[in-house]
Amino acid sequence: MHTPGAMNIIPDMYHISTLTRERIMRTVSIFKNGNNRAIRLPRDLDFEGVSELEIVREGDSIILRPVRPTWGSFLELEKAGPDFMAEREDVVTDEGRFNL
């Protein structure tokens, strides 16, 4: 039996997610900033520690949310050097292993 709104993870087992958000509504003025229109984000609606936001239009709503890292940004990170972990201790010793 399938439960509406449930995600089938394992056959015959379902995981149901419920999201709750505190809704805070403010009215702000739109002003001109160069060739753009802008708003000031009230302090109590600030995204602490976030320097970039995604902006999405859904119908007559505009949604702001923190930019999340993507796999593409992961690939842009600095790669490990050729000597990375060249000298390291064995994590698992050969003691107690089966001889095949």
Domain assignment present for residue 15? The answer is: no
Per-residue pLDDT of the chain (100 residues; tens, 9 = 90+): 445 544 444 555 554 545 556 677 788 899 999 999 999 888 888 888 888 999 999 999 888 999 887 777 778 888 888 888 778 777 766 666 666 6
Is 53 domain-assigned? yes
Does residue 68 belong to any structural domain of this protein?
yes
Domain that includes residue 76, residue range: 45-80
pTM above 0.75, yes or no: no
Question: Does 63 map to a domain?
Answer: yes
Q: How many domains does the chain have?
A: 1
Residue 64, C-beta contacts closer than 8 angstroms, at least 6 positions apart: 41, 47, 53, 54, 55
Measure CA of the first residue to CA of the last residue in the chain; give whole Å: 47
Domain-located, residue 95:
no
